[in-house]
Structure 1
Amino acid sequence: MLDDPRVRRWAWRIGAAVVAGVAVLVLFGWRLGVAVAILVVVGDLVRSSRKSSSVAAWQKSSAAERRTERQLKALQRSGYLVLHARAVPRDDDGVSDGRIDHLVIGPSGVYAIDSEKWDKRLPVRTMSHMKLFHGPFNKKDRLDEARWEAQMASSILADRVGFEVPVQPSVAIYGPSIPWKVMRVRDVDVYAGNRARAYLRRRPKILTDGDVRRIFSAAEKALPPKYPD
């Protein structure tokens, strides 16, 4: 039983709660001891939920990807299906790492979302919808990466389903303030990470439920997990 990580985690929680509760009970009484024990368990549950992810490689780091993943879960009720950390071919110039963070397929279309965590001390700005800067740094490589990965997914999915599947690339940025809602820069939608869900919801319906299921099924088979279990 203790081989199950969930059982081990709950055993740790209960043990920590008992130790903390007994210590406070001895010093301050049983009511406060019970309250402290409960707080220990609740606090650990909250901390664990923030690190929870369907992608094992994201559980220790990748906070930006986890935050987007949590937002996208709520869209399932609206007919959206999501695949996380899917592999696509790399480009010859080494621009892409060969991974789409989040491939979203729903009534409003297909989207490849790249989650980014940037230094919040540096401002984000654009120039004529053609350049994206983070402080003094030109982020052309991030835009090229997102666009390449979306193009690869579009081509692969079209071959599988027999019709064109446009995939809109986007970058969800966490950290610095983003002075716009959604800005298209070099054909890539750029927005604050906490707007990922709103970005997808406020779009017209262009795919039927059957289209969504068909594209999702093709994506599951043609775009393998980047981090297989």
Structure 2
Amino acid sequence: MPGGSIYVQPNEKYTGSSPQWWYEKFWREDAPNRRKYRYVKAGVGFIIGVALGLRFGLAGVSALTGVLAAAAVYGGDWFLDWYSFYRTAVWRGARRGELITGRLLRRTLRRRGYQVLDGRAIRDQASIDHLVIGPGGVWIIDNESWAPDVEIACYVGRLFFGEKYGSKTAKALVDKAEAFAELLTRETGVPVTITPMIAVHCGVLPRNGVVSAEGLTLLRPRTAARLIRSADAGVLNDSQIELLARTAARELQRL
């Protein structure tokens, strides 16, 4: 059923006549057409494989090279088709972005001395999906997804989601970063500046996969972990990291 998953509880946002529901419905209904074109592509691959076999003096096995080429084309086209649908899973409500990002952050950063706290909030105020504290500094990361055709870009210093301004989204997360930094600095005595990020699970990012605008950085979950890992170490020492992590665990409400 479109919009359904055994792993994620049903949400009205992804059912009925939502864009997510229609996207999945049309994708499934178009499967026979995609399969038909895949057969055509595989046929062209077979002809090219046979031609290459004859060209390189493999007349005895040219049929085999054709079959191998057809299989490679068919498999490659199937994978690209599947992957384009798989990348919309968070947007469609079939997977939870915070679980994906949290797992990547812990797997990549913990062995390098970083602490990752998931689902934290200042009581009765701001909440975030991930708080990362380590040698390179402190980050907060939220998870978002947009429709597959929404372009995320920066023009003249301003953030855009398609044709819409992203200033409201940027300001909200920048304000959260400042609120979290103020609390941690006040409670620990360690001067803290927090960098806000959004892990983008669906939407069109530029070729380099990163958009920075209005004090906010938007990027893929894997890129977020890689960018944090590449930050210059030495901003915080081990004792400061431990103090900040213990204070955050004590003072911030767990969601």
TM-score, length of structure 1 as denominator length: 0.65
2:152/2:203 contact within 8 Å kept = yes
2:184/2:247 contact within 8 Å kept = yes
Match of 2:122 in 1: 88
Match of 1:69 in 2: 102
Give the AA of the match of 2:97: A
Give the AA of the match of 2:116: V
Q: CA deviation at 1:164?
A: 1.2
1:165 to 166, 169, 192: 192
Structure 2 CA distance for partners of 1:187 and 1:90, relative to 1, 3 Å: farther
Query: Which is greater in Rg?
Result: 2
Q: CA deviation at 1:90?
A: 6.3
User: Following the alignment from structure 2 to structure 1, what is the Cα–Cα distance between the partners of residues 131 and 119?
Assistant: 8
1:71/1:196 contact within 8 Å kept = no
Give the AA of the match of 1:217: R
Match of 1:5 in 2: none
1:109/1:167 contact within 8 Å kept = yes
1:198 to 211, 226, 230: 226
Match of 1:218 in 2: 247
- Note the 1:94-173 alignment, pairs <5 A: 98-129=126-157, 131-173=158-200
User: Following the alignment from structure 1 to structure 2, what is the Cα–Cα distance between the partners of residues 138 and 62?
Assistant: 27
Q: CA deviation at 1:83?
A: 0.9
Structure 2 CA distance for partners of 1:177 and 1:193, relative to 1, 3 Å: farther
User: Following the alignment from structure 1 to structure 2, what is the Cα–Cα distance between the partners of residues 209 and 61?
Assistant: 39
Q: CA deviation at 1:141?
A: 1.7
Structure 2 CA distance for partners of 1:136 and 1:90, relative to 1, 3 Å: farther
2:116/2:133 contact within 8 Å kept = yes
User: Following the alignment from structure 2 to structure 1, what is the Cα–Cα distance between the partners of residues 194 and 94?
Assistant: 27
Matched, 1:186 2:214: yes
Identical residues among aligned pairs (%): 27
Q: CA deviation at 1:62?
A: 6.4
Structure 2 CA distance for partners of 1:214 and 1:199, relative to 1, 3 Å: same
Q: CA deviation at 1:88?
A: 2.2
1:111/1:167 contact within 8 Å kept = yes
User: Following the alignment from structure 1 to structure 2, what is the Cα–Cα distance between the partners of residues 155 and 62?
Assistant: 33
- Note the 1:22-41 alignment, pairs <5 A: none
* 1:121 partner SS: coil
* 2:178 partner SS: helix
1:182/1:199 contact within 8 Å kept = no
User: Following the alignment from structure 1 to structure 2, what is the Cα–Cα distance between the partners of residues 67 and 108?
Assistant: 22
Give the AA of the match of 1:64: G
**Which ranges in structure 1 are unaligned for 5 or more consecutive residues?**
1-59, 92-97
1:177/1:192 contact within 8 Å kept = no
* 2:147 partner SS: coil
Alpha-carbon displacement from aligned partner over 1:20-63 (angstroms, at most 9, x marks no partner): xxxxxxxxxxxxxxxxxxxxxxxxxxxxxxxxxxxxxxxx9761
Match of 1:49 in 2: none
* 2:253 partner SS: coil
**Which ranges in structure 2 are unaligned for 5 or more consecutive residues?**
1-92
Q: CA deviation at 1:142?
A: 1.4
1:88/1:100 contact within 8 Å kept = no
CA RMSD for the aligned pairs? 1.8
User: Following the alignment from structure 2 to structure 1, what is the Cα–Cα distance between the partners of residues 163 and 152?
Assistant: 9
Structure 2 CA distance for partners of 1:110 and 1:63, relative to 1, 3 Å: same
Structure 2 CA distance for partners of 1:63 and 1:84, relative to 1, 3 Å: same
Give the AA of the match of 2:100: R
